[in-house]
Amino acid sequence: MPALAHKTYFNYGGQGPLPSPSLAAINASWGTIQELGPFTADIWPWLEQEVGGLRGALAALCGVPPERLALTENVTSGCVLPLWGLPWQAGDELLISDCEHPGVVAACRELSRREGLTISTLAVKELRGDLTSTSTSVLEALEASLTPRTRLVVLSHLLWNTGQLMPITAVAQRLEQHPRRPWLLVDAAQSVGSLPLSSPEAEASGAGAAAVADIYAFTGHKWCCGPEGLGGVALSERLLAEAQPTMGGWRSLAQENDGGSAWHRDARRFEVATSCVPLLAGLRRSLELLEAVAPAAERLELIQKRSQQLWQSLGQLPGVHPLLEVPPPAGLVSVVVEGTSPGELVRQLGERAIWLRTLDDPHCLRACTHITTTEAELERLVEAVAELTRPA
Ligand SMILES: Cc1ncc(COP(=O)(O)O)c(C=O)c1O
């Protein structure tokens, strides 16, 4: 991974490094397109194989059939395209957690402005305890926030700011009992690639969540270590039956030449038009490499081992307070540091080629650990934070 050379990297939740074999696969794919095509009868079967292969791999990773998996460009388009295609009625209420990404929140605001919807907030930001108490509190908060008009709940699987894991399957079960069966939109930016979503024995670690959500949207460029510009979304059968394409294009059509009347019945109705096919080979290669190093359940254990070690070591430094009261459930470690602005600390760490990021709400620093994170890197970060925060 060239991106990991000459630096100490903790921004996996922002973007994962691309392994060299994945970059080589992208280049090879580009070569094949030029050799076979680019726009000849010879290339169509190859293209179908590329698209089908990645769709199958992402569907398997999510634990859904391929018919429920649409290829997208990023997390946000995976959230927004199906969301805007749902049958809204003026007065419907959107219940959005207070830990959602600004892009998704902005899209919900614009949707509500245009369709006359209202927005209310599901409070999860302060839930910093163990998974059992967090699950109980999320369900209590949900109970208190649902109204007869609630039509959509937006909740990330792994909160990008506190690093807490949300009980998506329990939330989905509760929503099924609501008379209006609100849609469940899950931002899976931080969970795909880090959580074992399709290992039935790992329900406590998030398995089953992609299959029960109506919209489970993710990207390949974070924890999957794929190229930027390629993601996916798992969609429920119910959504596929009721939602119309938002940006319908030739790839949304069941038959391109039938006058444009019939959309695909499956998730392809949310795919649009020409996109960058070589990226597919890169993401597929990255997924294979991750799997070869450690299958999903084992990968989470490796990620946790490092994040928990970091959480503990940082928490022992004077004036450094992890947001979570318990060891992190996955790879995100957020801390507040007394007496220093997070931005200034990130800048000073960057001068030492140690890369992490700030978050605005809660205002803190976030370091992510992946299976590539080494003990030496953890020590380097902890020593640097200790040195930079030591009273003069
Ligand atoms: C939780 C969350 N949602 C959405 C996004 C946006 O991702 P994308 O640019 O792939 O749409 C991010 C990116 O950091 C994120 O962390």
What was the pLDDT predicted at 206? Answer: 83
| Domains identified in the chain and CATH numbers | 2-17+295-389 (3.90.1150.10), 30-290 (3.40.640.10)
**Checking phi first, is residue 162 left (phi over 0); if not, alpha (psi -120 to 50) or beta?**
alpha
Residue 199 is predicted with a pLDDT of 83
The better pLDDT of the pair 38, 202 is held by 38
271 lines ligand 1 (CB under 6 A): no
Predicted confidence at residue 318, as pLDDT, reads: 95
**Once rounded to an integer, what is the mean pLDDT over residues 164-177?**
98
Ligand 1 neighbourhood includes 162 CB (under 6 angstroms): no
User: Relative to the CA of 160, which ligand 1 atom is closest?
Assistant: 1
- Encoded tokens for 168: 């998506």
How far is Cα 161 from Cα 242, in angstroms, rounded to an integer?
A: 33
Could you give the angle at the alpha carbon of 136 between the alpha carbons of 329 and 150, nearest 5°? 105
Judged against a pLDDT cut of 60, whether residue 260 lies above it is answered with no
Pocket test for ligand 1, best of 11, 12, 76 (most atoms within 8 A of CB): 76
Q: What is the pLDDT of residues 307-348, one digit of tens each?
A: 999 999 999 999 999 999 999 999 999 999 998 999 999 999
Q: What is the mean pLDDT of residues 81-94?
A: 98
In whole angstroms, give the CA distance from residue 92 to residue 148.
9
If residue 309 lies in a helix (H) or strand (E), which one and from where to where?
Answer: helix 296-315
Tokens of 18: 């691309």
| Segment 172-181, tens digit of pLDDT | 999 999 999 9
Instruction: Give the amino acid at 164.
Output: Q
Task: Tell how far the Cα of 92 is from the centroid of ligand 1, in angstroms.
Answer: 26
Give percent of the chain above pLDDT 70.
99
**Burial tier of 282 (Cβ tally within 10 Å: 0-12, 13-18, 19+):** buried
Minimum-distance ligand 1 atom for the alpha carbon of 221: 10
pTM of the predicted model over 0.85:
yes
222 and 190 in contact (C-beta within 8 Å)?
A: yes
Summarised one tens digit per residue, pLDDT across range 22-77 is 999 999 999 999 999 899 999 999 999 999 999 999 999 999 999 999 999 999 99
Q: Which atom of ligand 1 is nearest to the CA of 76?
A: 11
Give dist(CA 198, CA 297) in Å, integer.
9
Residue 75 Cα to ligand 1 midpoint, Å, equals 6
The C-alpha R_g of the chain, in whole angstroms, comes to 21
Residue range 1-14, pLDDT digits in tens: 999 999 999 999 99
Q: Is 156 in the pocket of ligand 1 (CB under 6 A)?
A: yes
Closest CA to 362 of 337, 326, 388, 327: 337
